Structure 1
Amino acid sequence: MKTTYKEAPYLIDSHCHLSREEYGSDLEAVMERAASCGLRRLLVVGADIPSSRSACQVAEAHRADGVFAAVGVHPHSASSVACSSEEVRLPEELLALADAPRVVAIGETGLDYHYDHSPREVQRSSFREHIRWARRVGKPLVIHGRESYADLLSILRDEEGYGMPAVVHCFSGTEEDAEAFLSMGFFLSFAGPLTFRKNEALRQLFRALPGDRILLETDAPYLAPHPLRGRRNEPSFIGAIYSVAAEVRGTTVEALARQIRENAARLFLWPLDDEEGSVHDRPVIHD
């Protein structure tokens, strides 16, 4: 029997990319499937200026579906905002998007040393600028890291990132990496790889984490969970991730969903219920 919107647990997709062209022809159908599986909050994340602008538009168009946005420049695109071979200055066009009514976070930003689509020094400069921007506007940081956790942590410490609201999305690091990020007060978010058969070490790590510091995400259209690997990922696939996550932690999907609902609201300051309302504000830090 198909699960209806009212019967399903209250699920969160804390990181997806619905503003990408992969959803250009069927976004409405994607949103309908998301609602039918119980998704009540989705964070649509920008990766450059055009996709950040589109994320704001998707969030505004789907207010009733609980969609919010994050704006920023992915490390792959850091060169697009570089003003020299080593320095980044975020353009006003991007900075202004932080004031859009559905924007609750800055990112995704960080370091990707696997592909190195942008020079590493440019990535590091961009990451620093995003940290400072997030602090100025009082919004949490969405962090991307691949083969770069040591440098991420070094920069965060240098930028006095302890205690700032942040999430490391699609976490895939070691127990030591997790402990380092948790010691800074960050959340760790897990995606489809948590369900992959060969990722038992990641599941063991996830099992041991404090429940009030975890989030779940699809990272759609990437990283579809088992048994849907190879397909275009979409938010409605989040149920497969919740199922594995609950089993790993020895709890029910309903109990895990309640915990993650509270965690996401604490991080992103969006309403806990389905009532439309303004997002709560954090203090803004002026330079």
Structure 2
Amino acid sequence: MFIDSHCHLDRLDLGRHDGSLANLINAAGEAGVEEMLCVAIDLNQFDEMYAKVEPFSNVYASAGVHPCHVNECPWDEQRLRKAAANKRIVALGETGLDYYYSSELAEEQKESFAGHLRLGSELGLPVIVHTRDARQDTLDIIREHGDPKTAGVLHCFTESLEMAQAALEMNYFISFSGIITFKTAEELREVVKAVPMEKILIETDSPYLAPVPYRGKQNEPTYVPKVAECIADLKGLRVEEVAEITKNNFYTLFSKARQG
């Protein structure tokens, strides 16, 4: 059984599934993807997102604000606390820092990121972290405001081995997406080889970043086995082993999902 640890089901074009999210989830199940985590990016859209996924017992959700959305959705602890109280919420985020697209909002991003980390510690929820062109600030904020007990995950990881190692020292997991299948991702594949299997998650980040051979098409949870296959090749494991280990890692990090 595969688990897609990071997808955006509310942002998918469901046309090829007759407009039905249930059909998409069933298609993923036929590919062996039995559970998935739908990740929030904006509390202004949270209620609509949650309403779409809440009926599906095999879909978990998060609550949070993406760093590129802090302008229209600034840090609001009470609003996030209320969203996180929903029964299928197993994590906060995605949050973090993105200086590639929104460097002019760096201070607002830092405030929001630190707030997510502090609240995650209080609520016992891990934090899903987005980081781009902000390696040192990301690590510094996790060290200052994060909680190694609840920890979190650096999702869709594309950074250096040194950053991965620093995150691992703080009990964070590293999640890899379809990017590792791209021809241009040789350095990232070396990171995959170096990260211990017991700290790896797999994801699609759909509808973005479809893995080879689907690159250029809309990504879907159905394709997360391609990420597992690449990791299996790099690690010298059977894909079934990667599926089992990453499933157990998912439940270790997102302990509320295991309880559910």
With the length of structure 1 as denominator, give the TM-score of the two structures: 0.85
- Does the Cα contact within 8 Å between 1:207 and 1:248 map onto a contact in 2? yes
* CA distance, structure 1, for counterparts of residue 45 and residue 28 of structure 2: 21
Whether 1:100 aligns to 2:86 is yes
Aligned AA (2:190): Q
Q: Which residue of structure 2 lines up, in the alignment, with residue 89 of structure 1?
A: 76
Q: 2:172 aligns with which of 182, 186, 190?
A: 186
Q: Which residue of structure 1 lines up, in the alignment, with residue 40 of structure 2?
A: 46
Shift of 1:234: 0.5
* CA distance, structure 1, for counterparts of residue 104 and residue 228 of structure 2: 34
Q: 1:35 aligns with which of 29, 39, 43?
A: 29
- Does the Cα contact within 8 Å between 1:46 and 1:53 map onto a contact in 2? no
Residues 237-248 of structure 1 aligned to structure 2 (within 5 Å): 237-248=223-234
Aligned AA (2:162): E
Q: Which one is further off, 18-27 or 186-195?
A: 18-27
* CA distance, structure 2, for counterparts of residue 238 and residue 101 of structure 1: 25
Which whole-Å deviations, capped at 9, do the CAs of 1:133-177 have from their partners, x for residues lacking one?
A: 111211010000011121011111222544432011001111110
Q: 1:70 aligns with which of 52, 62, 67?
A: 62
- Report the CA distance shift for 1:39/1:185 in structure 2 as closer, same or farther (over 3 A): same
Which runs of at least 4 in structure 1 moved beyond 6 Å after TM superposition?
A: none
- Does the Cα contact within 8 Å between 1:214 and 1:263 map onto a contact in 2? yes
The gaps in structure 2 that reach 5 residues or longer are: none
* CA distance, structure 2, for counterparts of residue 125 and residue 229 of structure 1: 35
The gaps in structure 1 that reach 5 residues or longer are: 1-9, 83-87, 273-277, 280-287
Which whole-Å deviations, capped at 9, do the CAs of 1:160-200 have from their partners, x for residues lacking one?
A: 54443201100111111011000000000000111101111
Q: 1:123 aligns with which of 101, 105, 109?
A: 109
Q: Which residue of structure 1 lines up, in the alignment, with residue 10 of structure 2?
A: 19
Q: Classify the secondary structure of the residue corresponding to 1:73.
A: coil
Which structure: greater helix fraction?
2
Shift of 1:21: 5.5
- Does the Cα contact within 8 Å between 1:108 and 1:143 map onto a contact in 2? yes
Q: Which one is further off, 67-76 or 236-245?
A: 236-245
* CA distance, structure 2, for counterparts of residue 252 and residue 59 of structure 1: 31
* CA distance, structure 2, for counterparts of residue 271 and residue 164 of structure 1: 14
Aligned AA (1:89): D
Shift of 1:246: 0.7
Q: Which residue of structure 2 lines up, in the alignment, with residue 207 of structure 1?
A: 193
- Does the Cα contact within 8 Å between 1:55 and 1:70 map onto a contact in 2? no
Shift of 1:50: 3.6
* CA distance, structure 2, for counterparts of residue 187 and residue 140 of structure 1: 10
Count of residues in correspondence between the two structures: 257
With the length of structure 2 as denominator, give the TM-score of the two structures: 0.93
* CA distance, structure 2, for counterparts of residue 30 and residue 241 of structure 1: 19
Q: Classify the secondary structure of the residue corresponding to 1:115.
A: helix
Whether 1:231 aligns to 2:217 is yes
Which whole-Å deviations, capped at 9, do the CAs of 1:222-256 have from their partners, x for residues lacking one?
A: 11111111111110011211111111111001011
Q: Which residue of structure 2 lines up, in the alignment, with residue 282 of structure 1?
A: none
